[in-house]
């Protein structure tokens, strides 16, 4: 009798507990159909934002079809990997990245995305371009070289995609920044569209696609990352300062290298970083123009070093003229001559032209600003109004003054061979471009033009505009040039016509000048390793324009009174 009472009590307690559980589930809006049927209960989802859709026949059919499709894909993928995995292993990594993309897309929203990691990785990834040589890498057969810059680029892009996937605030902020300068964004999208539209015309579409994937990671994605990072106050100044410090280090390295007349780490490279490739051997081979040795620092060649020095020189000029403190201005004035000396050690004629263009354009910016600040002045208006004549005279002097003609155009001596090679490349490229004005696909220019230097067993192109013309056609070339010209004009016009409360926004001026210098150097330099830096500056221009637009407009000066600019960012007079 006692056992029967205990059993009844336990049964009654179980019914009460089950009734309480059902009531709780009903209050939360969950169905109890599965409990009534005696089936195991299924939760609405593992993470709170997710929910389990209602069960139906169509959903079951879709699930079954998906499972069958995955099974068939895995079978085909396994057979293909067994047949071709050793030949093209990189192609079989694509499904892994696709799955990773689905995972990022499916992540729930968060209020605390890892933005600090994005900023830190951006600084490290862009610095690694100039600090570590690309040819010191780990080479795995069948895979791209594992370099320091690629490693940090991969980490940077992954964390950035995580941020935009999980934060609506980050997505909206990037769109707000882009909308502040819409034409830059439209031209960039147009250029990316042209890049992909040329893939069907490529004789090696897989090779062109691989090149475009790399370009979208190191160029396009870097642009969007830069728009976000440089929207944070202080980041642009720190980034530019970092590049200038690295430029000083490159200066010491180039002078030391010029003294010993070989790349400093030749003979001291660890075995696991040695890449058995003819291209690496050409990079490490001493480069001379006549009897003059040409330094290259940590870069692949002297012209790439000169391109980087010109990039930093524009910002050093800005710090020297309008730095926020006397210490900053004096340090910049000491660094500028060193960059010129380092450029001379590289023996790069394009960097000489780049320095001249940067100095002339920045001088025009300074004069225009001072004319705006002091409309009754005399020197600044005269300089601005006579600038076209002086610029034409400077260009004309490179044709009539023998030393300038040799230094700029390389018409005689050891310089003549490179100038003649570019002329021959243009003569070979123009008929090819007329035959296929829509382009031949990314990375195909060298094989299409088929120009080889005397004694060389490989094709080469010296002018990047030839590569643009052949790879992406006339439309691609025009859009590319318009992209950087538009960014330069927007940056310089805003820097001249606006008064900024935040000194950092005045970096628009050297950023715009660097865009023009970049376009000039591309006329004689085809490599794209430094493109990540210039697309970062492109993103910086968009971010600073957005910040300038967000600032309250400065009050207009009273009529008849002398116009003055705010103390912050104003040019100082003697």
227 lies in some domain: yes
Percent of the chain with pLDDT over 90: 36
Residue 466, pLDDT score: 92
Count of alpha carbons within 13 Å of 507, Cβ hemisphere only?
30
Rounded distance, CA 415 to CA 363, Å?
29
For 336, residues 6+ apart whose C-beta sits below 8 A from its C-beta are: 313, 316, 317, 320
Rounded distance, CA 507 to CA 504, Å?
6
Query: In angstroms, how far is the first alpha carbon of the chain from the final one?
Result: 110
Helix (H) or strand (E) holding 292: strand 292-293
Rounded distance, CA 395 to CA 223, Å?
33
317 lies in some domain: yes
198 lies in some domain: yes
Q: Which of 469, 410, 418, 446 is nearest to 279 (CA)?
A: 446
Residue 35 has pLDDT above 50, yes or no: no
Rounded distance, CA 221 to CA 531, Å?
12
Task: Tell me the pLDDT tens digit for each residue of 237-252.
Answer: 999 999 999 999 999 9
264 and 257 Cβ atoms separated by less than 8 Å: yes
Stretch 56-69: mean pLDDT: 82
347 lies in some domain: yes
Residue 28, pLDDT score: 53
Mean residue pLDDT of the chain comes to 83
Rounded distance, CA 263 to CA 346, Å?
12
Q: What is the DSSP letter of 288?
A: E
Q: Which residues pair with 292 in a beta bridge?
A: 289
Token pair, residue 154, equals: 């991969």
Task: Tell me the pLDDT tens digit for each residue of 469-508.
Answer: 999 999 999 999 999 999 999 999 999 988 888 899 999 9
Number of domains in the chain: 1
181 lies in some domain: yes
Task: Tell me the pLDDT tens digit for each residue of 296-331.
Answer: 989 988 999 999 999 999 999 999 998 888 999 999
**Among 28-42, 484-498, 537-551, which stretch is predicted with the lowest mean pLDDT?**
28-42
Stretch 388-397: mean pLDDT: 85
Residue 569, pLDDT score: 40
Task: Tell me the pLDDT tens digit for each residue of 409-459.
Answer: 766 655 667 778 888 888 888 988 888 888 888 888 888 888 887 777 788
417 lies in some domain: no
98 lies in some domain: no
Would strands 292-293 and 288-289 be described as parallel, antiparallel, or unpaired? antiparallel
Per-residue confidence at 550, pLDDT binned at 50, 70, 90? confident
Task: Tell me the pLDDT tens digit for each residue of 450-470.
Answer: 888 777 778 888 889 999 999
Q: Tell me the whole-structure pTM to 2 decimals.
A: 0.82
Token pair, residue 59, equals: 């959903």
Range among 6-20, 86-100, 273-287, 511-525 rated most confident = 511-525
Angle formed at CA 542 by CA 481 and CA 165, multiple of 5 degrees? 110
Q: Is 196 exposed, middle or buried (0-12, 13-18, 19+ CB in 10 A)?
A: middle
Residue 32, pLDDT score: 44
Residue 486, pLDDT score: 95
Q: How many CB atoms lie within 10 A of CB 405?
A: 16
Token pair, residue 347, equals: 């023996």
71 lies in some domain: no
Question: For residue 348, what are the domain limits?
Answer: 149-396+425-550
């Amino acid at each position: 009798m006692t056992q029967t009472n205990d059993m009844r009590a336990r049964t009654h307690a179980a019914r009460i507990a089950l009734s309480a559980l059902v009531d709780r589930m009903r209050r939360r809006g969950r169905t109890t159909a599965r409990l009534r049927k005696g089936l195991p209960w299924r939760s609405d989802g593992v993470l709170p934002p997710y929910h389990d859709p209602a069960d139906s026949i169509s959903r079951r059919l879709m699930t079954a079809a998906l499972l069958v499709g995955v099974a068939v894909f895995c079978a085909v993928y396994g057979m293909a990997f067994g047949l071709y995995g050793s030949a093209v292993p990189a192609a079989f990594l694509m499904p892994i990245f696709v799955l990773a993309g689905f995972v990022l897309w499916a992540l729930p929203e968060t209020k605390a995305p890892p933005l600090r990691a994005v900023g830190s990785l951006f600084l490290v990834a862009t610095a690694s371009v100039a600090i570590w040589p690309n040819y010191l890498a780990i080479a795995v057969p069948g895979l791209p070289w594992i370099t320091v810059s690629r490693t940090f680029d991969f980490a940077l892009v992954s964390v950035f995609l995580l941020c935009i996937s999980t934060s609506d605030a980050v997505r909206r902020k990037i769109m707000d920044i882009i909308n502040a300068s819409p034409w830059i964004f439209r031209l960039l999208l147009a250029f990316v569209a042209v890049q992909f539209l040329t893939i069907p015309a490529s004789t090696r579409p897989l090779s062109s696609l691989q090149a475009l994937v790399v370009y979208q990671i190191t160029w396009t994605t870097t642009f969007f990352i830069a728009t976000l990072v440089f929207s944070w106050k202080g980041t642009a100044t720190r980034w530019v300062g970092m590049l200038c410090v690295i430029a000083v280090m490159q200066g010491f390295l180039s002078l030391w290298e010029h003294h010993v007349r070989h790349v400093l780490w030749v003979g001291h490279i660890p075995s696991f970083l040695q890449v058995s490739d003819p291209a690496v051997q050409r990079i490490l081979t001493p480069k001379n123009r006549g009897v003059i040795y040409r330094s290259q620092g940590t870069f692949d060649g002297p012209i790439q070093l000169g391109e980087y020095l010109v990039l930093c020189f524009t910002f050093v000029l800005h710090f020297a003229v309008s730095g926020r403190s006397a210490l900053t201005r004096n340090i910049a004035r000491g660094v500028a001559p060193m960059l010129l000396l380092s450029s001379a050690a590289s023996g790069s004629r394009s960097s000489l032209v780049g320095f001249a263009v940067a100095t002339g354009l920045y001088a025009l910016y300074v004069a225009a600003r001072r004319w705006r600040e002091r409309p009754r002045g005399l020197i600044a208006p005269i300089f601005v109004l006579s600038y076209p004549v002086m610029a034409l005279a400077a260009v004309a002097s490179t044709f009539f003054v023998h030393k300038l003609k040799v230094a700029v155009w390389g018409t005689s001596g050891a310089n003549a061979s490179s100038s003649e090679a570019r002329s021959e490349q243009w003569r070979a490229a123009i008929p090819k471009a007329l035959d296929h004005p829509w382009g031949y696909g990314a990375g195909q220019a060298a094989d299409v033009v088929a120009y080889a230097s005397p004694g060389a067993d490989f094709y080469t192109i010296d002018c990047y505009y030839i590569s643009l013309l052949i790879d992406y056609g006339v439309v691609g070339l025009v859009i590319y040039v318009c992209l950087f010209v538009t960014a330069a004009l927007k940056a310089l016009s805003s820097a001249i016509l606006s008064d900024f409360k935040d000194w950092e926004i005045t970096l628009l001026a050297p950023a715009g000048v660097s865009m023009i210098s970049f376009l000039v150097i591309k006329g004689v330099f085809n490599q794209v390793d430094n493109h990540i830096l210039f697309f970062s500056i492109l993103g910086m221009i968009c971010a600073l324009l957005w910040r300038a637009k967000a600032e309250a407009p400065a009050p207009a000066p009273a009529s008849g009174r002398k116009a003055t600019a705010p103390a912050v960012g104003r040019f100082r007079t003697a």
